[in-house]
Amino acid sequence: MKKSLFAALLGGLALSSCSSDDDITVVEPTVEIPTSYSFSREGSTSVSYSGQTTRLEMSKELFTAFNDFDNATEESLSNMFANENNPFSSDDLNSSSKSVKSKVAASQAYFSGNSVESNDIKNEFEGWISQQVNEVFPNKDQVAAAGVAGQIADGSNVRYVNAQGLELNQVFAKSLIGGLVADQMLNNYLSTAVLDEGDNIANNDAKVLEDGKNYTTMEHKWDEAYGYLYGDPSIPTDNPNNALGESNDKLLFNYLGRVDADDDFAGIAEDVFEAFKTGRAAIVAGDYELRDEQTAIIQKNISKVIAVRAVYYLQGGKEAIANGEMGSAFHDLSEGFGFLYSLRFTHDPVTNAPYLSKSELDTFKEQLLAGENGLWDVEPATLDAISESIAEAFDFTVAEAAE
């Protein structure tokens, strides 16, 4: 089913024709890689990922409402999560058939036939909403203490934590990076189960387009994966990496930029972008071997971004504890907890499974909150041990990630 790559990849032309000694010419597909993520058919774009942009916009408004103590309720936040009862400020979002909740822990590769865990994960997100409204909101004016929800100073900022010291808006947002964005990108739309489903290969080879659309099904699936990373409206379509560190994205693209800004991981953003362009061009040319090579590059690098930030925040929390800055510590450790949660959705292209098992990650989460008062009791040695385990699984060092 796959076509081989016989010539080296050179700029925009990856493959060329070749002839045998018998003068029989075999024409291999030409892979034309554009400088931007721009693909067209008969003069019109063949790229579409509006559904992903919609979910990113829904997530952003939900994050803002998480600390709206005057107006948010458990019902209103849950409605935003599920897009029910017109919860958003935008008519376009309210009228959309999309929702955030429906795509959490919903990938074909990890959760097809695994509805129990998928529902458990969705319920955990709902649980964080409930805790925020019913535990944190009523205590917003109380000073937080061990076992007591409330507010705590973080320099000039005020953080609002539950009784365990978790800043739930951060836990929710950073967990959604894995549970929504990475899971849909790495384990759904880039999976062969989705890309090659049914007649997708034959239809892509024959350029059979979806009804009323300007793309094949396989092209569209790849674009949808792209949209989860680059779909925020503030990210330029010609070269999204021009917006690294400057976009309004609140999920994965934001942290791709932060990891890329670290000298130890510089170039990771360009590697991912090039892989997305090359993979899409390979689909147009019908070169599925090259496509799958690019999938592996994306899966490996995006997974590493999540792991690096998990270690970064765990180490930042450890340093803040040592300095007696508990507000800062809880902020960092809450982000770290969310990225740790997101590791469940990473994808090792060698094993086609997460880099760390569910049982390992469950143990790490239990260790973070093991004391009677959760993060108030966490020990630096615990943070170091978890950080070392993550770094080892992803082949970088704690020192590299902590900078």
* Per-position pLDDT tens, the chain of length 403: 444 333 333 344 443 444 444 555 555 678 999 999 999 999 999 999 999 999 999 999 999 999 999 999 999 999 999 999 999 999 999 999 999 999 999 999 999 999 999 999 999 999 999 999 999 999 999 999 999 999 999 999 999 999 999 999 999 999 999 999 999 999 999 999 999 999 999 999 999 999 999 999 999 999 999 999 999 999 999 899 999 999 999 999 999 999 999 999 999 999 999 999 999 999 999 999 999 999 999 999 999 999 999 999 999 999 999 999 999 999 999 999 999 999 999 999 999 999 999 999 999 999 999 988 999 999 999 999 999 999 999 999 999 999 8
Q: State how far the Cα of 20 lies from the Cα of 27, in Å rounded to an integer.
A: 11
Q: State how far the Cα of 249 lies from the Cα of 251, in Å rounded to an integer.
A: 6
Contact 172, 179 (CB under 8 A): no
Q: How far apart are the first and last CA of the chain?
A: 45
Phi and psi at residue 54, in whole multiples of 5°?
A: -60, -45
Phi and psi at residue 4, in whole multiples of 5°?
A: -85, 155
| Paired residues of 159 in beta bridges | 152
Please calculate the CA angle 38-44-47 and round it to the nearest 5 degrees.
Answer: 45
Q: State how far the Cα of 15 lies from the Cα of 284, in Å rounded to an integer.
A: 13
Q: State how far the Cα of 71 lies from the Cα of 75, in Å rounded to an integer.
A: 11
Which residues neighbour 294 within 8 Å (Cβ) at sequence distance 6 or greater?
Answer: 275, 276, 278, 279, 282
Which residues neighbour 256 within 8 Å (Cβ) at sequence distance 6 or greater?
Answer: 229, 244, 268, 269, 272, 302, 305
Q: State how far the Cα of 201 lies from the Cα of 203, in Å rounded to an integer.
A: 5
User: How many other CB atoms are there within 10 angstroms of residue 98's CB atom?
Assistant: 16
Contact 378, 384 (CB under 8 A): no
User: Which contiguous run of DSSP H or E holds residue 254?
Assistant: helix 252-260
User: Which contiguous run of DSSP H or E holds residue 151?
Assistant: strand 150-154
Contact 271, 296 (CB under 8 A): no
DSSP 116-152: HHHHHHHHHHHHHHHHIIIIIGGGTTSBPBTTB-EEE
Please calculate the CA angle 362-364-365 and round it to the nearest 5 degrees.
Answer: 65
188 burial via Cβ count (<10 Å: 0-12, 13-18, 19+): buried
User: Which contiguous run of DSSP H or E holds residue 61?
Assistant: helix 50-65
Please calculate the CA angle 180-181-186 and round it to the nearest 5 degrees.
Answer: 110
Q: State how far the Cα of 45 lies from the Cα of 88, in Å rounded to an integer.
A: 30
Q: State how far the Cα of 159 lies from the Cα of 235, in Å rounded to an integer.
A: 29
Quick one: DSSP state of residue 145? B
Give the pairing type, strands 150-154 and 18-19.
Answer: unpaired
Q: In terms of pTM, does the model score above 0.95?
A: no
Tokens of 346: 């990473």
